[in-house]
Structure 1
Amino acid sequence: MPNFIPPTPANDAATGFTRLLTVLNTLRTECPWDKKQTMESLRHLSIEETYELSDAIMEGDMQEIKKELGDVMMHLVFYARIAEEQGAFDILDVLNGVCEKLINRHPHIYGDVDVQNEEDVKRNWEKIKLKEGNKSVLGGVPASLPALVKASRIQEKARGIGFDWEDKTQVWEKVEEELQEFKDEFNVVENSAIDVEKAESEFGDLLFSLINYARFININPENALEKTNKKFIKRFQYLESKAQESGKALQDMTLAEMDIYWNEAKKL
């Protein structure tokens, strides 16, 4: 006989959330592993779970998304339980806090503010955040975000208060300008010495301008790059499998030989 009888599956969201709280609270008091966890020890696991959810979303695997959402939700409840033990806050404080924030930042729904479109909503959101105590519009962008994602968020935040280009043609002109400046620092024709620091700076400017242009044409640069990563991996693994079938090691093949399989992979 088990020490504890598992709570039965729920038929509504509220009861289901209570079931999760019950299970997590039991594990926290009874399981040796769960007892030992701290916010710091869970942090890297939470990051991993978030990336697994991201992978599932990119693959469009709804069953996997459902599973990973559960894992992420469990971690959120776990953090709240630890905070409750420390007397800092509890899960009810978390839920009420986020509800109050959403209500306050949607005055066009819960107040008398008029908006015409999505851009008005974003502008109001940033203005309200400043009234709440944020010292900078960019203050809400986490410092530890990957650089590509961070660049997108910085640009979105700036756009939210009206600091943006007027037309995408202006943005593309900026891309071409930055590309030329990078080429000036990193001349692919001349075999001259390169100032790596300057070239790196210009390359960063070029990437930032490309991310800006992607935003103007409604392309998520993180998603676009990840799809290209997956495409490259798939084609490279095809190349590896074909090389193995032919009894050759990739490092012993010529580039021309590898190109044959690579071009085959592009047609799949």
Structure 2
Amino acid sequence: MTEMTHSGIIIVGLGPGGIQDLTLEARRVLLEAAEGEQIVYFRTIIHPTVEPLKQDIPKLRIESFDRLYDESEDWSMLYQQIATEICDRAQEQSILYAVPGHPLIGETSVQLVLQQARARGIATRIVSGLSFIEPVCNMLSLDPFEVGAQIVDATNLATLRPDELAGHVIPTVPLMVVQVYNRRLATEVKLALGEFYPDEWIVKLVRAAGVGEDEAVLEMPLYELDRNNFANHLSTLYVPPVGTLAALRAPETLRSITERLRREPDGCPWDRQQTHETLKRYVIEETYEVVEALEEQNMDKLAEELGDLLLQVYLHAEVARQSDEFTIGDVYEQINAKLIRRHPHVFGDAEVENAGQVVQNWDAIKQQERASAGVDIQQESILDRVPQATPALMVAQEYQKRVAKSGFEFTSLPDVYAKIKEEMAEIEAATTLEEQREEIGDLLFITAKLARFFKIDAEEALRLANRKFQQRFQSMEAIAHEEERLLTSYSTAEWEVLWARAKTSV
């Protein structure tokens, strides 16, 4: 444990608004500071308690961090800068830091002060205050515990990327966004919430809760949040929840939908009939449709197809949940734990120099995991655990990659060409259907080996060849349509001309 110094930080809660809400302990601490001519650092003096405090305690010496709100262009660094300045001063002398409400409720700067103070060995003490939550909930007639309300700091919300918001905002439960202190921040909050809520969603801006006649609840559509100057340091935004089926960008909605589809007796008859076995074909189909979208470089289609593939994950998880096999939480746990475990260079102390070392570490960790699970690795074939449902060309190249590591590999490209010629000769010599099938299989296998020599994915190469053939043949169909002829009317020579024309256009 870090040794504490004689310096320290007392963090005082000023309450939500009126000076009548200031606790006796908070007033005593502030009075002692004034009598000792000690400066009290206020996060902001834009708070209705400040002016009455000056009258009540005339000797009170105040400095604030309001300048940082105007100077800061990086929301994520604003409170960090405040915390750093507080702790820097506290290493020289005892510091009083005053914040609105309760220091531990909706006060990001306080959390950062506590973190830095612990790291620097600075003692801290909290002087509680009435939080903003009570008067805000009073104005909204809301019990935050009953409805499970979320409370987020506006500055923190503004720093999140769109892909991070899903872990911080659940649109199907009530949301309170605190410290929406100016119009610029209101814009960032609006843009963040637009990830989940409709632009026309009616929200409530609660101003000056607990400050008598200044209290107000302003209703407006979300898109108007920054089209006025209503936001200030005493503003809390209340966002009512959307219905489950309306939260289309929330991960939880997909889980809810799949559960509803399989629910007895009012779900979907088709979905209720599905099993792990019947869903297998759809997993395969959706996987290939994702690959197709990737090859077409169609990002809109890719987003749609990834959604279809994700649906298969959730459907299998729901089938398993209903059969008491596992839940979607187990799926998350397995993949999250695996990624953390197999990336010690990211989440641990291991070091790597390149991607090749990453692969080596990955394979070594996999071996350790299997040994820990009781698998006799010494008795295991290097060709085990290649799913046979995988496309045959992919299996061929995976086998070839594995055996090459043991030294079973052609030494040169001419050797591969020679083997291809040998397989061609064996096809010509084959006389039965069984022999022809076997020799053609051998030719395909060695062709996959040739692709490996060129570092080409054989499956991808064949897919591209299929796509190229499709486009060229469809081009010939279009030409035939323009010529008002049936495809079956073309002679072999005419087909060759058509093919040559199609090659030049595609």
Choose which of 475, 479, 486 in structure 2 pairs with 1:238: 475
- Asked whether 1:175 is paired with 2:416, we answer yes
Choose which of 406, 409, 421 in structure 2 pairs with 1:163: 406
Measure the CA separation in 2 of the matches of 1:250 and 1:256.
13
Deviation at residue 217 of structure 1 after TM alignment: 3.0
CA pair 171-62 structure 1, distance change in 2 beyond 3 A? farther
Partner of 1:150: 395
- Asked whether 1:32 is paired with 2:268, we answer yes
Give the conservation status (yes or no) of the 8 Å contact 1:21–1:77.
yes
Measure the CA separation in 1 of the matches of 2:407 and 2:430.
37
CA pair 199-46 structure 1, distance change in 2 beyond 3 A? closer
Q: Which moved more, 1:54-63 or 1:117-126?
A: 117-126
Measure the CA separation in 2 of the matches of 1:123 and 1:155.
18
Give the conservation status (yes or no) of the 8 Å contact 2:420–2:447.
no
Counterpart of 1:140 in structure 2: which amino acid?
A: R
Deviation at residue 205 of structure 1 after TM alignment: 3.7
RMSD of equivalent CA atoms:
2.8
Measure the CA separation in 2 of the matches of 1:83 and 1:225.
36
Equivalent position SS for 2:303: helix
Deviation at residue 75 of structure 1 after TM alignment: 1.3
Measure the CA separation in 2 of the matches of 1:266 and 1:92.
52
Deviation at residue 158 of structure 1 after TM alignment: 4.2
- Asked whether 1:50 is paired with 2:277, we answer no
CA pair 25-196 structure 1, distance change in 2 beyond 3 A? closer
- Asked whether 1:63 is paired with 2:300, we answer yes
Counterpart of 1:32 in structure 2: which amino acid?
A: C
Measure the CA separation in 2 of the matches of 1:112 and 1:53.
36
Q: Which moved more, 1:67-76 or 1:129-138?
A: 129-138
Deviation at residue 165 of structure 1 after TM alignment: 7.6
Deviation at residue 66 of structure 1 after TM alignment: 0.3
Equivalent position SS for 2:411: helix
Measure the CA separation in 2 of the matches of 1:262 and 1:95.
51
User: Which structure carries more helix by proportion?
Assistant: 1
Give the conservation status (yes or no) of the 8 Å contact 1:130–1:136.
no
Partner of 1:124: 361
Equivalent position SS for 1:222: helix
Equivalent position SS for 1:267: helix
Deviation at residue 91 of structure 1 after TM alignment: 0.9
Counterpart of 2:390 in structure 1: which amino acid?
A: L
Give the conservation status (yes or no) of the 8 Å contact 1:80–1:90.
yes
Give CA-to-partner distance per residue, 1:122-170, whole Å, 9 cap, x none.
23333333331363443231012121121122234445xx33588xx93
Choose which of 188, 206, 222 in structure 1 pairs with 2:459: 222
Partner of 1:18: 252
CA pair 199-114 structure 1, distance change in 2 beyond 3 A? farther
CA pair 200-25 structure 1, distance change in 2 beyond 3 A? closer
Measure the CA separation in 1 of the matches of 2:256 and 2:275.
19
Give the conservation status (yes or no) of the 8 Å contact 1:24–1:78.
yes
Give CA-to-partner distance per residue, 1:101-140, whole Å, 9 cap, x none.
2222223333444433333332333333333136344323
How many corresponding residue pairs? 253
Partner of 2:16: none
Q: Percent identical across equivalent pairs?
A: 34
Counterpart of 1:259 in structure 2: which amino acid?
A: E
Q: Which moved more, 1:230-239 or 1:57-66?
A: 230-239
Give the conservation status (yes or no) of the 8 Å contact 2:293–2:299.
yes
Choose which of 299, 316, 338 in structure 2 pairs with 1:79: 316
Deviation at residue 203 of structure 1 after TM alignment: 4.0
Deviation at residue 229 of structure 1 after TM alignment: 0.8
- Asked whether 1:115 is paired with 2:352, we answer yes
Deviation at residue 202 of structure 1 after TM alignment: 4.6
Partner of 1:141: 386
CA pair 157-111 structure 1, distance change in 2 beyond 3 A? farther
Partner of 1:9: 247
Equivalent position SS for 1:143: coil
Counterpart of 1:172 in structure 2: which amino acid?
A: L
Q: Which runs of 5+ in 2 are unaligned?
A: 1-242
Note the 1:183-198 alignment, pairs <5 A: 183-187=424-428, 194=431, 197=434
Measure the CA separation in 2 of the matches of 1:228 and 1:85.
43
CA pair 8-158 structure 1, distance change in 2 beyond 3 A? farther
Partner of 1:253: 490
User: Which structure carries more strand by proportion?
Assistant: 2
Counterpart of 1:255 in structure 2: which amino acid?
A: T
Deviation at residue 52 of structure 1 after TM alignment: 1.6
